[in-house]
Amino acid sequence: MFVTTDTPTEPEYKFITDEDLSAYEVWCTPHVVAFNPVPTSPLYHYTTGNGLIEIIKSGELWSTQVACLNDSSELLYPIEFLRTKVREKLKSSIVTEVEFLLKNIDAGLTEPKIATEGRFIACFSEDGDDLSQWRAYGGGKGGYAIEFDAQYLRQLPEPHKVTILGKVEYDKSKQSLFFDDVLENAIRFFLDGLQKKRASGIDEWTSEFLSYWASLVIMFAPYIKHPRFSGEREWRLVYHFQDERNPVCRSPCRS
């Protein structure tokens, strides 16, 4: 089981009910399993000689906030992918309520707040001898690829339960299916809340629903990269820095 929150305090919502949360978790679980498969081999972290010395001296492996990655634009890739899906859907024949929802999603994706995004990433590879990664992360000559026990990384002890090891997905067709499902179920859950009159008006319901849904979906963004990076065969250890306002997602894939 993993929990994507730093506090045991359960979130409180004005309109989203326990019934809704259970339904969202049912949707979430198979995707969590898909993005977090059981690794079958060691994983390698590329670093420079100085980096290796600091890791040994401190006994720590530091993660990087997503906006500070070597290529911070990579996090924009899943955002733009979903945004394209939203705009395609807006061109189709849809009811007024769905149009309202999609326009709000599009507005939120237009100005993503990556600089304050609470995800910190440590990168690993299935390949312990990849020339491109020697050059990019090992400093060329004198670099190191540190071997890690992937099973240990997958089941880190306390207090690291909010740190999740996942395999990066590069296949564009699988990415497309994932975002189709995200959008389809966002609409489904949104309309369900409207039908059940969770809030007194569509504005209130949209605001709270999208705040929760976005926090749930953003968990998967670090594991979706452009196909041109597929040679890195990357896995990511992602630390989710969140508070009690953000969602808890549980899965049987961690014990």
Is residue 253 included in any domain, yes or no? Answer: no
Is residue 154 included in any domain, yes or no? Answer: no
* Residue 31 structural domain: 18-41+63-123+163-240
For residue range 125-152, what is the model confidence (pLDDT) as tens digits? 999 999 889 988 888 778 999 999 999 8
What is the dihedral sign for C-alpha 6, 54, 144, 67? positive
The count of domains in the chain is 1
Rounded to 10 deg, the angle between the 202-217 and 18-35 helix axes is 30
Is residue 204 included in any domain, yes or no? Answer: yes
DSSP 70: T
Is residue 91 included in any domain, yes or no? Answer: yes
Statement: the pTM of the whole predicted model exceeds 0.95: no
Task: Round the average pLDDT of the chain to a whole number and report it.
Answer: 84
Is residue 219 included in any domain, yes or no? Answer: yes
For residue range 26-82, what is the model confidence (pLDDT) as tens digits? 999 999 999 999 999 999 999 999 999 999 999 888 887 776 776 666 778 999 999
Is residue 3 included in any domain, yes or no? Answer: no
The bridge status of strand 64-65 relative to strand 163-167 is: unpaired
Is residue 98 included in any domain, yes or no? Answer: yes
Cα first-last separation, the chain: 5
